[in-house]
Amino acid sequence: VHGGEAFQAPALIDDRVVERIRAQVPLAPLHNPANLVGIEVATAGMPDVPHVAVFDTAFHQSIPPHAHRYAVPHELYASHHVRRYGFHGTSHGFVGKQAARYLGRPLDTLNLIVLHLGNGASAAAIENGRSVDTSMGMTPLEGLVMGTRCGDLDPAIVFFLARETGLDNDALESMLNRDSGLKGICGVNDMREVLRRAEQGDERAALAIEMYAYRIKKYIGAYCAALGRVDAIVFTAGIGENSPDIRSRACSGLSALGISIDPARNAASASGAREIQPADGPVKVLVIPTDEELEIAEQTVDCIRSSVVPPR
């Protein structure tokens, strides 16, 4: 999952790569140790085939310092690597390429805002095919409202809760990661159920939907400002691909930015990449299914083809 600043692309696994992945464990204590176990089992079971590590953070390593650094003492970055890393890079990268293919334009000429909306959710600003900003931060907790994660939060709230509730760091971290977001607001984290409850008059569910869509809209606006020119907004992942309601709410009121949705196109059931903006809309609004497994497979093949595979 986490390659830190050490990996900007997939890597052919050897002892040195394993140790560099191990060095990133403090940045992803729940994920990287499990990934290392998988590497150890796979390489032991299939020692005569090449193994490749693909990193969810690598796509975002192109984000410039003014966007990836936090305004905290420099020593925290120099010694502890405190910065924005971003996640869902495999999905954002795949969807960006699919958008270029659909639009019939080279990826390196396109400015895109990609919205990966699932139980975990993130936005990415892509300029000329490269990530220049993303909503998730040093961890996946920052950014959009998610199924069980809070997203953007005043950091002082954590200190306030520690004082007022007596909860320790582990309990607070668990609460913000596992019991917040949609679940924290209305009790459930499945957007389909949240929408159903809202239709039945559940005020907390309705509030959760409004908060979810409003946060997406704020990031769209921010990334329009950061990019200057936007060729397409792209919705992907479970909610992004399957919820016309959320897509409509996220894009409402953005006509001044050239962003709008055609209700009939948005509501139509269709598979594959499709447009949902009005025919004369200046900014394309696309729905494109993601396929992270395919992207990982393609990156693996590319890595092996471009590497000198040592004999085992």
Residues annotated as part of the active site: 56
- Distance, in Å, from the CA atom of 302 to the CA atom of 166, rounded to the nearest integer, reads 51
**E strands in 11-55:** 11-12, 52-53
> Which two tokens mark 275?
């447009």
On whether the CB atoms of residues 24 and 6 are closer than 8 A, the answer is yes
Cα 76 to its chain centre, rounded Å, is: 24
Helix (H, G, I), strand (E, B) or coil at 53: strand
Name the residue among 251, 139, 240 with its Cα closest to residue 191. Answer: 240
> Which two tokens mark 136?
């998730």
DSSP states of 132-165: EEES--SSTTSSS--SS---S--THHHHHHHHHH
Instruction: Give CA separation, 78 vs 27, 74, 83, 90, 247, in Å.
Output: 14, 6, 10, 27, 40
- Report, in angstroms and rounded to the nearest whole number, the Rg of the chain calculated over CA atoms: 20
Question: For residue 6, what is the DSSP state?
Answer: T
Cα 299 to its chain centre, rounded Å, is: 18
For 121, residues 6+ apart whose C-beta sits below 8 A from its C-beta are 115, 135, 143, 144, 145, 146, 147, 151, 216, 237, 239
Helix (H, G, I), strand (E, B) or coil at 127: strand
